[in-house]
Structure 1
Amino acid sequence: MNFENIHIGELIKQRVNELGIPVERICNFMNTSEIEIEQMYEEKFLNSGVILRWSKLLEYDFFRIYSQHLILYSPPSGNYAIQKSTVLPVFRKNIYTKEIIEFILELLKTGKKTIQQVLDDYKIPRSTLHKWMAKYNSHEK
């Protein structure tokens, strides 16, 4: 999974194919035509209301893909930023899913990135990365 360059239409089409949902059911649920559904598959970006409907229909949280992108590619928060109170929910950035861990370990295993590159690029704590390597590499043996 490429969390850097997200093409939501392709991912939705992939999930539809996995589930084998008939296009008639999709059109009824989305309240749109088959041509518009095909156009959505071609779109790199869709509005959040449309993504929410697809998530419900396909029983898959497509928003989580964007969350994973933020975990991997957003700049680290620095102490220089003044924390302002907000009425919005506050989420911890350092929650790594199994998919993220597998993605990082695959980069290391294939040699696409070195340990130092992973630490620098994704701001993962060194101790966390080494724990992942010890835990998940021991399961492969």
Structure 2
Amino acid sequence: MNYKEINIGLLIKHLVIERQLSMSRICDFINCRPEDIEEVYRSKSFDTDKLLRWSKLLEYDFFRLYTQHLILYSSMSKFPKGKVAELPQFRKNIYTKEIIDFILGKINHGEMTKIEVMFRYNIPKTTLYKWVEKYNIKNIEGDKS
């Protein structure tokens, strides 16, 4: 899965095919016409209320794809000292199994070195090396990090 470029319509279509859902079942649940479903399949993004309905229908958390994107590709903003945020603040360094697999896959396939991974994704050296040891990833890129 490429978390950098998320095309939600294609992902929904793929899951509909995989789950073998009929067009009539989808239209009844989503409350729309078949033409609307085809439009969803062509959409790169759309309204979160609609995405929530698709998540319920397909029993899949599509929002997690965007969370993974944020973990990998955005820096966490620092709140000014002495200020308290009204919204909940999430730590960036909570890594899911999918994220760990994605990152270790980059290393294992020689797409990135460990140093590049640490720099690009802001992963601490000790964390990365624990993953490598735990998941028995071979050091194929030959770096001395």
TM-score w.r.t. structure 1 length? 0.91
* 1:137 aligned counterpart, secondary structure: coil
Alignment of 1:59-74 (within 5 A): 59-74=59-74
The whole-number CA distance in structure 1 between the counterparts of 2:48 and 2:68 is: 16
Q: Tell me the equivalent position of 2:80.
A: 82
Q: Tell me the equivalent position of 1:137.
A: 136
Which has the bigger relative contact order, CA under 8 A and spacing at least 6?
1
Any gaps of 5 or more consecutive residues in structure 1? none
Per-residue CA distance 1:57-116 (angstroms, 9 max, x = gap): 1111100000000000002445xx515323322222111000000000000011111111
The whole-number CA distance in structure 2 between the counterparts of 1:92 and 1:58 is: 28
The whole-number CA distance in structure 2 between the counterparts of 1:134 and 1:58 is: 36
Alignment of 1:1-141 (within 5 A): 1-77=1-77, 81-82=79-80, 84-137=83-136
Are 1:6 and 1:44, in contact at CA under 8 Å, matched by a contact in 2?
A: yes
Are 1:3 and 1:65, in contact at CA under 8 Å, matched by a contact in 2?
A: yes
* 1:120 aligned counterpart, secondary structure: helix
Identity %: 52
TM-score w.r.t. structure 2 length? 0.88
Any gaps of 5 or more consecutive residues in structure 2? 138-145
Greater helix content:
1
Aligned residues: 136
Are 1:76 and 1:123, in contact at CA under 8 Å, matched by a contact in 2?
A: no
